[in-house]
Amino acid sequence: MKRAAQKKLHETLISGPSFIWLLIFFIIPTMIVFAIAFKPATPFGGIGDGWTLHTLMDLRNPNYPAIIGRTIWLSVVSTAICLLLAVPCGYCIARAPKRSREVLLLLVIIPFWTNFLIRIFAWKVLLHPEGMLKQALVFLHLCSPDATLLYNPVTVLLVIIYTYLPFAILPVYAAAEKFDYSLIEAARDLGASQLRAFTRIFLPGISRGVWTAVLMVFIPALGSYVIPDIVGGPGSEMIGNKIAQRTFVDRNLPHASALAALLTLAVMVPLMITLVHHYRQAPVAHKKGKGAAQ
């Protein structure tokens, strides 16, 4: 048993630094944000003394339901479309011959070499009434000359999908690459059509990759701030924009904190429930996971 104790010490030592990092730069700041939500605001942009529920009451702003609704539908739809594109992409890359696989992966990763903000501004240039894409579409009679492609929620959706698609393709590819394709043959052999072999065997087989892709797209999409700010108009505001507005324009930090806390909880709670449910269903995976976490 001495060896087991030693192994545990090793694991603690190895995971220690990253745990401390997370504690200082993630857990404690999040707790501070949660705490500030219960503080009163001062007229000069500071944080007042004492504790209050007043800020939380202020969240019943009549403008919020529409913004929250828009945030959710934009995130859900962008996640869904990213998945619809990522699964076939991931599959094709995983099944491609080794050399073209490397090229295809490179193509997925290349956008990361350009700064995020510059890429968003590039979209602004493309979609601008005088922009190349707009002109091309008009030339092809695919859109009327006076249609506006910028500053509406669909533009925001388009750019969110563009931005987060690689984050969906990579985990799906990683799972599809490890998938045992003789299982597809087995399913076909047992009477499954191509479509059913895909839905009944392939999709469950890469479910880990798919769930990772969902998280990698949905969570950042929910917190989008720069994208709606640059390519969205006043009618495309998301919660992220409201938090920024409360912080920088209204200088009401408690209110911004309350909104941020709401967003965090909205992500964390369902995630925790899913994780607990998942581990209950898969005791083997749970054991493995526990061993690694200790």
Partner 1 sequence: MTDFLVFEGVSKSYGDIRAVDSVSFSINKGEIFSLLGPSGCGKTTLLRCCAGFEDPDAGRIILDGRDITGLPPHERKVNTVFQNYALFPHLTIRDNIAFGPRMARWTKGEIDKEVARMLELIQMEDYADRKVTEISGGQKQRVAIARALINRPQVLLLDEPLAALDLKLRQRMLVELDAIHDEVGITFVYVTHDQSEAMGISDRIAAMNRGHIEQIGKPAEIYEAPRSSFVAAFIGDTNFFDGSVTDVMDGPYCRLKIEGFPDVLAWNDKGVQTGNAVHLSLRPEKFNISREQPDVLPNRNVVQGVVEDIIYLGSHTKYWVRVEDYRLGVHQQHSRYLLDTRPITWGEKVYLSWFADDSCMLERYKAEDENLLVLPDTEETEPVEA
Nearer to partner 1, 189 or 250 (CB): 189
CB 144 within 8 A of CB 150: no
Q: Shortest Cβ distance from residue 103 to partner 1 (Å)? A: 22
The C-alpha atoms of residue 232 and residue 130 are separated, in whole angstroms, by 17
Q: Residue 41: beta bridge partners?
A: 47
User: Does 284 engage in binding with partner 1 (CB under 8 A)?
Assistant: yes
For 42, the token pair is 């001062």
Where do the H-state alpha helices sit in the chain?
Answer: 2-22, 28-36, 54-58, 64-95, 98-109, 116-127, 132-139, 153-178, 182-189, 194-197, 203-205, 207-222, 226-231, 239-244, 253-281, 283-293
Nearer to partner 1, 205 or 232 (CB): 205
Considering only 7, 109, 129, 189, the residue that binds partner 1 (CB under 8 A) is 189
Considering only 171, 205, 228, 240, the residue that binds partner 1 (CB under 8 A) is 205
Q: Which stretch binds partner 1 (CB under 8 A): 177-185, 232-240, 246-254, 255-263?
A: 177-185
Considering only 57, 191, 234, 293, the residue that binds partner 1 (CB under 8 A) is 191
Q: Shortest Cβ distance from residue 270 to partner 1 (Å)? A: 23
Considering only 23, 129, 139, 180, the residue that binds partner 1 (CB under 8 A) is 180
User: Does 199 engage in binding with partner 1 (CB under 8 A)?
Assistant: no
Q: Shortest Cβ distance from residue 36 to partner 1 (Å)? A: 44
User: Does 174 engage in binding with partner 1 (CB under 8 A)?
Assistant: no
User: Does 291 engage in binding with partner 1 (CB under 8 A)?
Assistant: no
User: Does 115 engage in binding with partner 1 (CB under 8 A)?
Assistant: no
Considering only 201, 210, 259, 263, the residue that binds partner 1 (CB under 8 A) is 201
Size (the chain), residues: 294
User: Does 67 engage in binding with partner 1 (CB under 8 A)?
Assistant: no
The C-alpha atoms of residue 276 and residue 72 are separated, in whole angstroms, by 23
User: Does 195 engage in binding with partner 1 (CB under 8 A)?
Assistant: no
In angstroms, how far is CA 71 from the centroid of its own chain?
Answer: 12
For 189, the token pair is 């052999």
Nearer to partner 1, 90 or 254 (CB): 90
The C-alpha atoms of residue 68 and residue 49 are separated, in whole angstroms, by 30
The C-alpha atoms of residue 131 and residue 87 are separated, in whole angstroms, by 31
Q: Shortest Cβ distance from residue 261 to partner 1 (Å)? A: 37
User: Does 196 engage in binding with partner 1 (CB under 8 A)?
Assistant: yes
Helices 64-95 & 153-178, crossing angle to 10 degrees?
40
User: Does 185 engage in binding with partner 1 (CB under 8 A)?
Assistant: yes
User: Does 182 engage in binding with partner 1 (CB under 8 A)?
Assistant: yes
Residue whose C-alpha is closest to residue 186's, from 177, 176, 196: 196
Please give the residue ranges that form the binding site for partner 1 (CB under 8 A). Answer: 180, 182-183, 185-193, 196, 200-201, 204-205, 207, 284
